[in-house]
Structure 1
Amino acid sequence: MLSVGLSALFIVMLSSYSFASSDTPGKVIAGWVEKISIKNQSYALKAKLDSGAKTSSVHAENIELFKRDGQRWVRFQLLLEGAEGAEGEIETLTLEKSRVRRVKIKEHDGDHDSRPVVELDICFDGRPYAVEFTLTDRSAFIYPVLLGRRFLAGVAVVDPEVTFLTQAQCR
């Protein structure tokens, strides 16, 4: 009787596993931390993959809002870590991007922070993606990039036991 019960339990577990794996066609299995790159840059950024965050964010410095031809733009700097073979080197990349919108982010202390959102072309798992990022000071965090579920939803399944499974540069 015990073996019948264990067999039934095994079948239920196996069927739920096959359902989960069939639900992820075309998605890459990624670790909870991966490296990404800004398209056409050889420098990488470490990114925490966080399905609890809705929107992706990136550490940006010297954020300046301005208008160009009546449109809202943002000038900011990203600090990029060393490329392959050049670990330890830091390059400052100054970018100007049109502002997609502003978002209000609820902080842990209950306050709200208003952040500009821009679209950046990144490379993740060797493929290019256009991703919306909030610009913020993430210097208090270990990882300068947080990839949220708006990006992850159609792209990756996160394995929380591993890191660095994907390729940062576009092929």
Structure 2
Amino acid sequence: MSRTSLLRLPGLTGLVLVVTSLSVLPALAESRETLGWVEEGLVLPEKTRVKFKLDTGALTSSMHAENIERFEKDGDDWVRFTLELDDIQNDEQVETRLERKVVRTTKVRGAGGAEERPVVLMKVCLGRRVHEAQFSLNDRDKMNYPVLIGRRLLEEIGPVDAARTFTQEPRCDA
């Protein structure tokens, strides 16, 4: 019996199919959190709490970094940089010097022209989950949000409600 004919069957079979479908939908919705367009998150491993902007207009996520230096290590491209973030929970500035292997380089075009930025893997906590994702490194001092979450990571995170902000406390065990 085809799926189409099953849906046309009157009586108990059709009712069971509808009830089963309705009972699965809430479980799917609960498996991924709905977040607002601005959320508090943690940059790991330092657990620095900062504001994240969830930006459906950006493809790649971006993180504030200063003093970016490229170098070679074991034949691979690496980058050394300073994360200088204002921790909004403790109202203090956290400065950490990190080294990461460059995953790729991205070209960003804007009003001021085009520039190449290194992309590295970083871990962040958003809601109840830790995400390891690619972040382009850029001086975001003049931006309101030190971390921007792009569509590549949003696919993993789940839906964004553009009318809401600060819907989830970061609660990761990492």
Same fold (TM over 0.5): yes
Matched residue of 1:28: which SS?
coil
Q: Which residue of 2 aligns with 1:131?
A: 133
Q: Larger % of strand: which?
A: 2
Q: Which residue of 2 aligns with 1:79?
A: 84
Aligned counterpart in structure 2 of residue 105 of structure 1, from 108, 111, 115: 108
Identity %: 38
Q: Distance in 1 between matches of 2:88 and 2:51?
A: 12
Q: Which residue of 2 aligns with 1:60?
A: 65
Deviation at 1:108, TM superposition (A): 3.0
Residue pair 1:73, 1:98 contacting (<8 A) in 2 also: yes
TM-score under structure 2 length normalisation = 0.78
Q: Any stretches of 5+ residues in structure 2 without a counterpart? A: 1-21
The change in CA–CA distance for 1:50 and 1:165 in structure 2 (over 3 A counts) is: same
1:79-117 alpha-carbon deviations (Å, 9 max, x no partner) = 233364x2x2111011100000101111135x2110000
Q: Distance in 2 between matches of 1:24 and 1:105?
A: 34
* 2:102 aligned partner, one-letter code: R
Deviation at 1:169, TM superposition (A): 4.1
Deviation at 1:155, TM superposition (A): 1.3
Q: Which residue of 1 aligns with 2:37?
A: 32
Equivalent pairs counted in the alignment come to: 149
Q: Distance in 2 between matches of 1:104 and 1:78?
A: 21
Deviation at 1:24, TM superposition (A): 5.0
Q: Any stretches of 5+ residues in structure 1 without a counterpart? A: 1-17
Q: Which residue of 2 aligns with 1:143?
A: 145
Q: Distance in 1 between matches of 2:171 and 2:45?
A: 9
Structure number with bigger Rg: 2
Matched residue of 1:142: which SS?
coil
Report runs of 4+ in structure 1 exceeding 3 Å deviation.
21-25
Deviation at 1:128, TM superposition (A): 1.0
Q: Larger % of helix: which?
A: 2
* 1:144 aligned partner, one-letter code: P
Deviation at 1:170, TM superposition (A): 1.1
CA RMSD of aligned residues (A): 1.9
Q: Which residue of 1 aligns with 2:93?
A: 90
Aligned counterpart in structure 2 of residue 115 of structure 1, from 86, 94, 117: 117
Deviation at 1:73, TM superposition (A): 0.5
